[in-house]
Amino acid sequence: MTSGIGRRRAAARDEGGSAYTERRTEIVAAAAEMFKRNGYRGTKLADVAEAMGLDRASLYYYVGSKEELFQDVVGGAVEANADAAEKIAAGTGTAPDKLRALVVGLMTSYAETYPFLYVYIQENLGPGARDRSPWAREMARHNKRYENAVVAIVRSGVEEGSLATDTQPWVVAFGVIGMVAWSNRWFNPHESTVPATEIGAAYADTLLNGLINRG
């Protein structure tokens, strides 16, 4: 029966009918809330089914396993961030404005999706990662899209003369990302006395204007 359900699920996903896709998206969103509240270990597929008013067999029509659900949740956040960065890079405005939007957006996205983007960072799914599963490779592609968008913003700023640096744009871009992404080691939006918006704005100010007091 499991493999029968598996085949039906694969067929339904490939077909991509809008009712099926919408229902699956709702399930992923519900699971995200449960993962946030109860952690990965504390979340059972049966609980997700119950929250969605489904029996387990019906849930299996949409989702193959808890791991698949978790990867969808994390992957959705990573993909959305890459999309946002590309949108900022392609938008109108000066490079400093874009860099500010990107830095603030990245920091607040960590809080809004907490802990999913940090899970991704801590899994270290970059190009050198040992995990070469299709999911890990998809994550690496989104990550590369994100990095490329930041490099493009810095490079266009140097070209238009709004930004200045003595090194390569990609070195600056990795520094920008690092400043914000390092927060995976110390930031917890539920416990922090300093909100993500303040951190993001302060990091954008530092990166654009510097810490030197020109008072």
Residues interacting with its own copies, by CB under 8 A?
96, 99, 122, 124, 126, 154, 157, 161-168, 171-172, 174-183, 185-186, 194, 198-199, 201-203, 205-215
The least CB distance from residue 110 to its own copies, in Å, is: 12
Whose Cβ is closer to its own copies: residue 28's or residue 101's?
A: 101
Whose Cβ is closer to its own copies: residue 21's or residue 162's?
A: 162
Distance CA 125, CA 132 (A): 9
Whose Cβ is closer to its own copies: residue 21's or residue 94's?
A: 94
The least CB distance from residue 199 to its own copies, in Å, is: 6
Q: Copy the structure tokens of residue 190.
A: 């539920």
Q: Copy the structure tokens of residue 88.
A: 């900022």
The least CB distance from residue 14 to its own copies, in Å, is: 35
Tell me the CA distances in angstroms from 72 to 24, 26, 56, 69, 175, one per residue in order.
10, 12, 19, 5, 28
- Select from 145, 149, 137, 148 the least CA-distant residue to 71: 137
Distance CA 13, CA 16 (A): 5
The least CB distance from residue 95 to its own copies, in Å, is: 9
The least CB distance from residue 106 to its own copies, in Å, is: 12
Whose Cβ is closer to its own copies: residue 78's or residue 154's?
A: 154
Whose Cβ is closer to its own copies: residue 61's or residue 174's?
A: 174
The alpha carbon torsion through 76, 69, 182, 170 (nearest 10 deg) reads -40
CB proximity list for 28: less than 8 A, separation 6 or greater: 69, 72, 73, 76
The amino acid at 156 = S
The least CB distance from residue 172 to its own copies, in Å, is: 7
Whose Cβ is closer to its own copies: residue 5's or residue 208's?
A: 208
Please classify residue 97 by burial: count the beta carbons closer than 10 Å to its beta carbon, then call 0-12 exposed, 13-18 middle and 19+ buried. Answer: middle
